[in-house]
Structure 1
Amino acid sequence: MSGFIGIISSQPQETNTALLDLSAIAIASCCDDYTGSWHSHQADLRFGWLKTSEDTAEEHLPFSVDENLRIVGDVRLDNRIALVTELGAFFEAINSSTPDSYLLLYAYKHWGEDCLQHIAGDFAFAIWNEQTGNLFCARDHFGLIPFYYASYEKRFLFTNFYHALKDIPDLMSELSDDVLQDYLRSGQNKRFDQTIYKKIKKLPPAHKLIYEDGETYISRYWEIPSHMEPIRYKTTKEYVSHFYNLFEQSIKDRTRSNKIASSLSGGMDSSSITAIAKKVLNENYGDNHTLVSFNIAYTQLVSEKEGYFAMLISRHLNIPIEQYIAEDYVKNVAQPLTTWIPEPAGVPSATAESQILSDTTTFSRIYLTGFGGDPLFEFEPLSHRRLSMQGYWLQPFLDNLIFYKTFGHLIRTIGQKIRKLIKKEPINNDKTPFWFNSSSVPDRYSPIKPNKDTPSMRSNFSMTENPYWSWLFETSHPGFTGKKVKVRQPFFTLDLYLFILALPPHVLYQKSLLRMSMIPYLPGEVIRRPKTLLFGNPLSQNLKKQEIQDRLEEIITQSGDFLAGKIDVPNLLAAIRDPVYADMSYTYFLPVSHVLLWKNYTFNNFTNLK
């Protein structure tokens, strides 16, 4: 895990050094195992390192292989052993302990920009060519590591560490109306390439950036393949074996340390990751390892059994579990922020997740989550269309036949299609509450899908094509949270993802593939447990409390003219206590509250951010 920042400028400026000195302090607050810097008359590069791997040498960046090419980056590579073997044939300096970022620079020296076709993992990096004045940057396939940049005053600035930009004058002085509207309506940034600040941009996932002669060139280096050979095995055992090998390798690649923290919700996703992490740690370190699981449970606002199942799994795996009561945190949902976050992504003190990250730092620097399990195993109907376009005309029919034979849903599916033909459901494109200014609402705006061509969250295609996921990764990065812990996502692995996309629907349905592969590792009660939603919405229940409604009204009333042109404040205030909106109050009111609380803290504490 690393933090980096750099400035490229055609004219040497003393202010560059002063600006990056402040930014380097912000990076070192999290990444303090090593700090490095390098500068020339064209470039100034800064770096901070937080050790998260026990199997490689120390990472001293900026690193150069020839005193010309230099890299700074936040890099963790998948399948590094194969890459070490391949590149070791060309570079004698490479061995099994070569840091990932060094391998990446060697890969660039050997393959040039095509190195991106040979690597996968979590990464954002910048490679500076002092001789040609060329800067080459890229962000990983899923956007697991952020990359921010800005062009201003004949300088090009780039970083993965959002907090490092806070002290740079005027960079955050103007807000983006589009992103602000996104936050007000949905509580998230729905743009792949834009931050909430006009002058700061994001490099989208699976994109590369070249800066040369004062010009910036951005292009996509990867997308979901349009032609993919379907994987159709004769036996279920073959599917399970193939999946398990990829899944275990993903967890091995993300647990190169003997001290690991893991989310344990009680569902299949995080439970599977925790179970295999335990197996991997046992094999690699024996008894000399620490694995602690973390669970969040509700006891009052809703009825649920996640805590029970998490306890069951922890006993089965013989690992400690720390349980957090959600009500202890959600009560703070309308309280002022006590620390700054770069974008209005919520109230940290109102989430147990924030406390978990803080507690993780006391013993580990790696926290595993089960995010991505739901969409990964959700078969995308576009896959059948793709098969037909590739010439596999019969395959979709055979896949459906096996699916219906396995799960017996043929009659129900036919009935559903007939009902749709007989009675066409009305389409309501207006999903925006009436208190929003209609002139500022984009056509067909949806809080789930950023536009009509983007996959919904219930699709494995969404893992690369819906901006929710890259935004989630950005807001959990240490450069955003300020926490000295790296959150890792084993389900977001390129090899695993491409394998799943090539599978038939019957092995994905209700996570059948995952359940079968976990039979040796999890209790049968967990394996057989269906996907279970909470019995009620805890956030909506929480917002029905008188004291929280009073606080929301106070926050909105004191917003001044900040919401002018965006929201009709009197209508919004009236809606807060309207029972019609009670069940969806967390969707309608919390995003507005989060923006205002963030605005208040930002404007009150940082004069250069007003």
Structure 2
Amino acid sequence: MCGILGLFHRVSSPRPVLADQLVANLLHRGPDDHGAYSDDHVQFGHTRLSIIDLTKAGHQPMVSHQGRYVVTYNGEIYNHIELRAELALLGSLFSTRSDTEVLLETYHVWGRDCVKKFVGMFAFVIWDTQAKEIFIARDRCGEKPFFYHFNGEQFVFASELKGLLPLLPERPLLDPIIVDQYLHYQYVPEPRTLLQGIQKLAAGHSMLITLADWKAEPKQYWSVETTSFPIQPQQNKGDILTQIKDTFESAVKMTLRADVPVGVALSGGIDSSAIAAFAQKNTQQPLHAFCVGYPGRPQYDERAQARELATSLGMIVHEVELPVDSFVDFFPKLVDIMDEPIADPAAFGHYSVPKAAADQGIKVLLSGIGGDEVFWGYSYVTEAVALNQLMLDRPALYKFAHWLGSVGGREFLLRVAHYPHAHPAIRRCADVLQKLGDVRQPPDQYLYYLLHPDFSGAYLVASQYYGDAMGAATRETLFRPTASRKSEQQRIPSAIIKLLFETWLTSNCLSLGDRVGMAVGVETRMPFLDVNLIEKVMALRAYHPDNALGQKAWLRAALKGVLPDQVLARPKAGFQPPIKEWLWGVIKKYGDSLHDGQLVKAGIINANKIHLLLGEKATQDWHTLFLAYKLVLLETWYQRVVHA
């Protein structure tokens, strides 16, 4: 795991090696080593967190044996052992044990198709000194970040904005349209960023830039919706569950490959518990488990459940307690760490786990991120599948619901849906009709994000506080990240999973997970995002739909006998910090920065409305409170990261 940065220049000229202070901006991502490479067209920088082959032989940027290719690479190729053996049979020679050398040789043999051979997480740039072109690629799910700026003269890239911005001639401006998206989604859906002229290479994409045509056009090489794993349609339930269990255990074993200590981020939930069980089963020494809790051990504190399981597995348990004041005081530093605004209130807890691991000398941490996305862990996602299938199957019902919504019936339906004395069937019918008839939903898109209460809530309050610059923010631009061509009924489940992967998973969960881990020199690995597991599950459900079977039905059944029954029966709790106390504490301490800050100067928020936003209403209404927190975070980020 590392930090990468560099420039690709269109005009040939002797280039100096990147200055140490520029490379040092990403030293937190790779505190063990750093290096640089330059020639007439490229300048590469690299900071290394040594995980595989801890010797100097793994130093980067690395030049291939042939001398033709130069790479700067961030990530881990978990199947580097298998690829090394395959390449050796084809005549490749190796002088190190590093996966970086395997990556270079894989590119030498298979070219741009190398990405299809990799099992792992990665973002890399390879410079072909003969063809005068660079090849860029990012892993399938987007576990590793890649920011870039492209113009007529240069292609500039880095793992984080903190590494990219100092390479630019001037600081870019905020993009009001993307600010609008951030305030609704709580993150910025890739490939856009909040800064004009700066993009992300989207997950599952690669890009080739040559001196001959000088174009930066990303091409998708993988999508969760279009997997091609071979499956027998007539498989029974037992076969399905066995395949899931075996494939997941193989994924955990693969992520245990490291030349440094490995630990597990453990909650009381099924995802991290399954990882812990398989990880300890396949490790000779006791693994370290890290769990988070809160003062007074409230009902949602899962430390007791996590400790009970870890102890039964023979693991060493470490507990982290998170008082409210710690979050408020640490907030500015947390903004620095996140590198881009991600308003997930769980961010502090997610940081505290790798920090505790680093304090114990653990450099690799296994995480349960991805389990909810692969196995239907969110109720609004399964509801999206059901409602979109209903719209397709009952077009008359959809038209009737839309008519009700268009004549002001939504408020009435909402009241009926939440009226406690109404018959459950009537409440359910009213709830379905008001959601199907939501006139805010673009008619050519799947009903999706409006089913999430935070997105829908932001829709109600955000525009009340907007300034003049937000006039270009429209419904069309807001829903652009979820634009998806509607398909036949049987493909709706995979299409909804695709939306989940390409928005929430990549831009919130994985972006946050990468930053908080790399801030303390800890590599986070996610077995649930193993490509073989994802493709097998997606292929199986094409013939055996599981979205209506209950939350994580397949996973719970596949883990029967692996985990105790009480763990398998435990409902999803999620990460539940004392959110309102945390957010209100931040607003009280840092909210005054909004009054004469960049958001007011840029016309993004109305200066005359700030006192309302920071006042009593925020204590009474969750959506106003959350909006205020997002804006304080955004203002703090702009001051500390963009204009640092």
Classify the TM-score, shorter chain.
Answer: 0.7 to 0.9
CA distance in 1, matches of 2:568, 2:554: 11
**CA distance in structure 2 between the partners assigned to 1:12 and 1:422 by the alignment:** 63
Letter in 2 for 1:519: K
Residue 520, structure 1, aligned to residue 531, structure 2: no
Alpha-carbon spacing, 1:422–1:8, altered in 2? closer, same or farther (3 Å): closer
* Correspondence for 1:390: none
Q: Is the 8 A contact 2:228 2:535 kept in 1?
A: no
Q: Which residue of the partner structure matches residue 427 of structure 1? A: 438
Counterpart CA distance in 1 for 2:619 and 2:524 is 38
SS in 1 for 2:354: helix
Alpha-carbon distance, 1:316 to partner: 1.5
Report the CA distance shift for 1:561/1:126 in structure 2 as closer, same or farther (over 3 A): closer
Give the Å deviation of 1:432.
Answer: 3.9
**CA offsets 1:394-442 (integer angstroms, 9 cap, x no match):** xxxxxxxxxxxxxxxxxx9999997789888541527241323572432
Higher helix share goes to which structure? Answer: 2
Partners of 1:139 and 1:170 in 2: CA distance: 26
Q: Distance in 2 between matches of 1:364 and 1:420?
A: 48
Alpha-carbon distance in structure 2 between the residues aligned to 1:352 and 1:384: 33
Report the equivalent of 1:530: 571
Give the match's secondary structure for 1:217.
Answer: coil
Contact 2:342 2:508 in 1 (8 A): no
Closer/same/farther in 2, CA of residues 242 and 170 from structure 1, 3 Å limit? same
**CA, structure 1 residues 173+162, in 2 after alignment: closer, same or farther (shift >3 Å)?**
closer
Relative to structure 1, is the Cα distance of residues 481 and 339 closer, same or farther in structure 2, using a 3 angstrom cutoff? Answer: farther
In 1, Cα distance between equivalents of 2:571 and 2:556: 10
- TM superposition shift of 1:212: 0.9
| Worse-matched range after superposition: 168-177 or 225-234 | 225-234
Write the distance in 1 (CA, Å) between the matches of 2:325 and 2:493: 29
Find 2:501's aligned residue among 435, 439, 464.
Answer: 464
Match of 1:268 among 243, 248, 270: 270
**What SS is found at the alignment partner of 2:240?**
helix
State the partner residue of 1:111. Answer: 110
Structure 2 partner of 1:474: 511
- Aligned with 1:510: secondary structure? coil
Report the Cα distance in structure 2 between the residues aligned to 1:312 and 1:117, rounded to whole angstroms. 40
| Aligned mates of 2:70, 2:44 — CA distance in 1 | 9
Deviation at 1:594, TM superposition (A): 0.5
CA contact (8 A) 1:206 1:221 kept: yes
Aligned to 1:584: 623
When normalised by structure 2's length, the TM-score is: 0.77
- Listed as ranges, the gaps of 5+ residues in structure 2 are 390-422, 441-455, 486-491
Q: Distance in 2 between matches of 1:445 and 1:577?
A: 31
Of the three residues 579, 602, 625, the one matched with 1:539 is: 579
- In 1, the alpha carbon distance for the partners of 2:122 and 2:515 equals 14
* TM superposition shift of 1:51: 1.4
* Structure 1 contact 55–256 (Cα < 8 Å) conserved: no
TM-score normalised according to structure 1 size: 0.80
**Correspondence for 2:196 among 195, 198, 203:** 198
After superposition, the Cα gap between the structure-2 partners of 1:340 and 1:578, relative to the gap in structure 1 and judged at 3 Å, is closer
Residues 1:248 and 2:285 are matched in the alignment: no
Show CA shifts across 1:31-71 (max 9, x none). Answer: 24343433322223333321123699942332213111222
Partner in structure 2 of residue 88 of structure 1: 88
Change (3 A) 1:42 1:584: closer
Change (3 A) 1:418 1:524: closer
- Secondary structure of the 2:142 match is coil
CA shift for structure 1 position 321: 2.2
**Equivalent pair of 1:4/1:160 in contact (CA under 8 Å):** yes
1:47 aligns with 2:46: yes
Tell me how far 1:357 sits from its aligned partner: 2.3
Residue 138 of structure 1 and its aligned partner are, at CA, apart by 0.9
2:237 aligned residue: 236
The CA deviation string for residues 513-571 of structure 1, in whole angstroms up to 9 with x for no partner, is: 3223333343322122122368x883125446xx6554355233343663653223444
Q: Which residue of 1 aligns with 2:314?
A: 318
Which AA in structure 1 matches 2:122? F
Shift of 1:479: 9.6
What does the per-residue CA deviation read over 1:450-494, in whole Å, with 9 as the maximum and x for residues that have no partner? 435399999533453325424532343359953211112111111
For 1:445 and 1:330, how far apart are their aligned partners in 2? 37
For 2:466, which of 420, 428, 436 is the aligned residue? Answer: 436
Hey, what's the Cα distance between the residues in 2 that align with 1:326 and 1:551? Answer: 18
User: Within 2, Cα distance between the matches of 1:349 and 1:509?
Assistant: 25
**Structure 2 equivalent of residue 259 of structure 1:** 261
Contact 2:290 2:318 survives alignment (8 Å): yes
Bigger shift: residues 173-182 or 305-314: 173-182
Aligned length: 568
Cα separation, partners in 2 of 1:367 and 1:348, compared to 1, 3 Å: farther
CA contact (8 A) 1:64 1:70 kept: yes
| SS across alignment from 2:110 | helix
Tell me how far apart the structure 2 counterparts of residues 38 and 89 of structure 1 sit (CA, whole Å).
31
| Residue 200 to residue 550, structure 1, CA distance change in 2 (3 Å) | closer
Q: Cα–Cα, structure 1 residues 218 and 160, in superposed 2: closer, same or farther, change >3 Å? A: same
- 8 Å contact kept, 2:350–2:513: no
Unaligned runs of 5+ in 1: 388-411
Q: Against the structure 1 CA distance between its residues 553 and 129, is the aligned structure 2 distance closer, same or farther, given a 3 Å change threshold?
A: closer
Q: Distance in 2 between matches of 1:432 and 1:457?
A: 30
Q: Which amino acid aligns with 1:371?
A: I
Q: CA–CA distance in 2 between the matches of 1:126 and 1:354?
A: 28
Alignment of 1:208-607 (within 5 A): 208-213=206-211, 214-223=214-223, 224-225=225-226, 231-232=232-233, 234-257=235-258, 259-281=261-283, 286-287=284-285, 291-299=287-295, 303-328=299-324, 331-332=327-328, 336-337=332-333, 340-341=336-337, 342-345=339-342, 351-362=348-359, 363-378=361-376, 426-427=437-438, 429=440, 431-433=459-461, 434-437=464-467, 439-443=471-475, 450-453=481-484, 459-466=496-503, 468-477=505-514, 482-502=519-539, 503=541, 504-506=544-546, 509-532=550-573, 538-543=578-583, 550-551=588-589, 553-559=591-597, 562=600, 565-575=603-613, 576-578=615-617, 581-602=620-641, 606=644
- Specify the SS of the correspondent of 1:565: coil
What one-letter code is carried by the residue in structure 2 that aligns with 1:46? G
State the partner residue of 1:69.
69
Equivalent position of 2:156 in the other structure: 157
Change (3 A) 1:585 1:77: same
The percentage of aligned residue pairs carrying the same residue is 20
Q: Which moved more, 1:327-336 or 1:61-70?
A: 327-336
In angstroms, what is the RMSD of aligned CA positions? Answer: 4.0
Rate the CA distance shift 1:39–1:596 in 2: closer, same or farther, 3 A: closer
- Greater CA drift, 26-35 or 63-72: 26-35
Q: Which amino acid aligns with 1:556?
A: L
| Deviation (angstroms), 1:384 | 11
Moved more, 206-215 or 338-347: 338-347
- Alpha carbons 1:142, 1:463 under 8 Å: kept: no
Kept in 2, the 8 Å contact 1:3–1:479? The answer is no
Is the 8 Å Cα contact of residues 543 and 585 (structure 1) preserved in structure 2?
no
In 2, are the aligned partners of 1:334 and 1:551 still within 8 Å (CA)? no
Aligned residue number for residue 420 of structure 2: none
Q: Aligned in 2, Cα 1:34/1:178: closer, same or farther, shift over 3 Å?
A: same
Q: Please give the secondary structure, in 2, of the residue aligned with 1:367.
A: strand
Residue type of the partner of 1:291? L
- Alpha-carbon distance in structure 2 between the residues aligned to 1:159 and 1:91: 33
Change (3 A) 1:7 1:450: closer
Give the Cα–Cα distance (whole angstroms) in 1 for the partners of residues 618 and 521 of structure 2: 42
SS of 1:144 mapped into structure 2: coil
The answer to which of 413-422 and 201-210 deviates more is 413-422
Deviation larger for 66-75 or 173-182: 173-182
| CA contact 1:251–1:273 (8 Å) conserved in 2 | yes
Aligned partner letter, 1:165: L
Q: Residue 451 of structure 2 corresponds to which residue in structure 1?
A: none
